[in-house]
Structure formats: structure tokens, C-alpha cells
Structure 1
Amino acid sequence: MGNGPSIFVRTPQEHLEHMWRGRSPLPYSCPPGHVRVYLLPEWTRGKNPMNEPWAALKNDFALEPTGELNLKKVKGKWALERCSAIDLERMQPFEEKYKGRLSLLALKVLADSKGIVWMYEPTPSEDTVSIRADRLRIVRQYDATVERILEATLGRISKLLDNGVVGESVSHYYPEYSGADPGLPNVPQKAHSEAAPKKENVGEAEGNKTSAALYQQQRQFVFLVALLFLFFSGALGRYSQFGRDLAFGW
């Protein structure tokens, strides 16, 4: 815990986008010994936060043995500079008695009818705003680069597959000969024997083309296997996130 605003951790905006993708839905009910928190990255005093549940970050936080909620857990979860609870009755920030902690009594008073405590992040400092802007710019550029690489890779695979199909189709147009050559009717035996080396050359060329077609089919098969592996393993849609995990710390 305790990951503050940094270029190496997700911004609240990224956490919100991640939540919209529905990858880590909360359980139907809050586990025992926890409190469910909805946090708005932006909130205006006097405005009912419950009107915009889709804009809130959501998570269940474990309570201290005393029943208190340590706000460091909330700030560390979403890389916040500060956070404050919202008094739903007065529609204003709640002033906690013990700085950085919400007592069990305060949590009961602040919770809505579903037991959810609503919070928000007060306006961050200029340094934090600058750090988040830099990170978002880097991440967006990274996403765009990954997208271009993905499109280029799939385009290359598609081109190779098309070439393999065409090579295979063309090879079917070369007839196989047996016995007398139907392509040389009424040709004297001498002329026919003179044409034999030419036929051998044609057969050799056909063999080369067949080998090339087989090689192309092998490459096609390898690319198909690789593509299927990426698809079924989920890497095709997630490898950009793998890179983020390593490069950007999420």
C-alpha cells in the first residue's frame, strides 16, 4: 500500500477506464470486516454524488481491528494525493475527528442505505496534475504504438496467408501426364523424343513450384498456429497490458 501519485502507477482516470471494462467486478455484498467505498475523482460541493455511480471508483477495504478505516489504504489503492469522505446529509466534505482515519461510528453515519461510503479526491496539487498528464501522454503513445504494431503484424500474416492460398491454387492447374503425351498429337517419334528433355525440364520446374508451394503452406500453418495460440491464450488482446505491467508499474 501507499502508492502515491507517480508516473509508474495508474492515474484515477486509468483506474476508472479499467473498471468500465468490467475486469474486476465487486461481489454482490461487502465481505465482513470491510467497507465498500465509492470514490469520485471529481466532485462539487452541494452536488449529490449518488447521481453518478458510473463515475466512481469502487472497492472494498479491510477495516482495522478497531473498526476504523485507514485512509492510506484508499489513497494507495488509487494513487491519490488526498481523499475525503462526503457527508451525504449536508452534501459537503466530512471532517474526520482523527486525521487520516474514519471511526466505526463515522462510517455508520456516512454510509448510504446500501452501506456504501462515498468519498472524493480534493483538487490535487500542480505537481500531481503534471505527473498524471505526463503518464497519460506516455501510456496513450504506448497504446497507439502497440496498435500500429498489431495492425502491421496481422496485415503481414494476412498477406502471407493470401500468397500461400494463391500458390496452392496455381499448382492445381498443372496437369499430370502418363503414357503418351496428349499435348503432342501426330508428332513423329523422333520429334517426340526431342521434346522429352523439354518435358523433363517442365517436370523439374513443376517440382520446384510444388516444393515452393509446400514451403509456403508450412509457413502458413506456423503462422496460423501462432495466431490461434495468441487468440486462445488471450495474449492478442492483452499483450499491450503485459507491456504496461513491466514498463509502467500496473
Structure 2
Amino acid sequence: MSDTFESFESTFESISGYKRWRNWFITLSVITFLLFLGLFSSVTITLESLGGASVISIYLVIIVLSVATIYKTYQDAVFLEEETKLASVQVRQLNELNDVPSFLEAADQSIFRSHIGSLFTIFKVHSQIQQDNLVEILQLRLLARNRVAELFASILITLGLIGTILGLILMMSELKVVMNGQSGGGSDNLIASLMGEGGPLSGLDAAFYTTLLGALFGGVILRILTSVISSNISRYTAHLAELTEVYVLPMMRNTAAKLEESGYYKRS
């Protein structure tokens, strides 16, 4: 038997799933930094241009949710990386012990161990041992973890739109005040009031900034990172299924065939 217990993953992928997430995160962070650097260097941003307290609270919510969700994708990337390595280690352990009950007792808790435990439960009552449904269920559960991050990505875009609406509402409210106050004044005074610092048109800045933040974090950064996690989930489930199919199921099926010939399953 081969001394290495690996799947064909290394044949198709030159870097691990976590490194792919890390590379994307670094790339997106650099692009975001350059984008805001260019924005701040060309536009003067003041507290007035950010809108009132309600709009500033939208900024804070977007930033906090973005950081928390990015960290969630980081945890998922690390989790899948650890489980991938652990599966390779534990399939070696199982082959060295050459006994599933002993492996289940000695092995650390992991997805691979749980998968083997489920297959062993099937083995005890049925000679036809298939893992297709188990792998599909596992993939659905892992994808469900990632859908939380996908949900927050959509929420961030929505929050950006809410900030846009709030900014426009603030602009219209202040515009009415200025128009009423300048009803007897000249057009020059009206334009100065509209365009001045803290004037009604400053609400447009708040509207555009919240849209920018929501679209950038929710529509770009998190969309890419959650897509990377989805890809990592597919890679991990394929890795798990291949290790099991190549190194575990032949042994279990061979033993099950012998037990079936002896009438074990008929008695049970």
C-alpha cells in the first residue's frame, strides 16, 4: 500500500484553499486602500459631508458588519484547511490500525472521523456501503455555514442603499429650509447656501459614501471571499470522498462481503 495518503487535489491545485483566501484578501485590501487613498486625496471629507448621526450610524454598522463577516470567512478558510490536513493524517492512522472501531476510539474528533463513523454504522447493518448521500449532506452543511456570510454581504448592500435614502432625505429637508429662508434673496445667495459647507447638497455626499461602502464590502470583497470559501468547500468534500473511496471503503466492502457470505446480515 502507498505510504502517502493523499487525493488528486495536489495534481489540480498548486496552493491550498487557505492560501487562496489569503491571497484574495491581501489583493482586495490593497485595492481598497488605494481606492480610498485616491478618494481622500481628491475629495475633502468633513463631518458635515458624512451626514447626520443617523447616517454616521449606517457607516459604523457597515464597517463593523464587514469586519465581522470577513473574519467569519477567515475562520471558515482556516477550519477547512485544518480539516483537509487532518483527513490525510487520520486516513493514515486508520490504515495503520486496520480496524475501524479502534480508529473511532483513538482518533481526534473531526469531520473525517464522523464520516467514517457513519459509514461504519451502515456497515454493521448492510453489506452495500455507499457514501454518496453522506458526502452530499456534508457539503450542504458546510455550504450552510458559508451562507451566513453571503447573507451579510447582501445586508451590507442593502444598508448602503438605506444610507443613500437617508442622505437624500436629509438633503431634501435642508433644501426646504434653505429655499424658505432665501425666498426673498437673490439667486447668488441661494446658490451659496446650497453649495456651502453643511448645505443641503452635502447630503449627496453621505448618500454616495454609504453606497460606496455597501457596494465595496458587500458587493465586491465579501462576494469574492465567500466564493473562495464555496470553492474550498467543494475541494474539501472531494478530498474527503476520494480518500474514503480509495483507502477506506475497499476494506469495509471486502469485510462486508465476507460477513454476508457467512449470513451475518441475515441474522441481524
Q: Same fold (TM over 0.5)?
A: no
Q: TM-score, normalised by structure 2?
A: 0.28
Larger radius of gyration: 1
Q: TM-score, normalised by structure 1?
A: 0.30
Bigger helix fraction: 2
Bigger strand fraction: 1
Greater relative contact order structure (CA < 8 Å, 6+ sep):
2
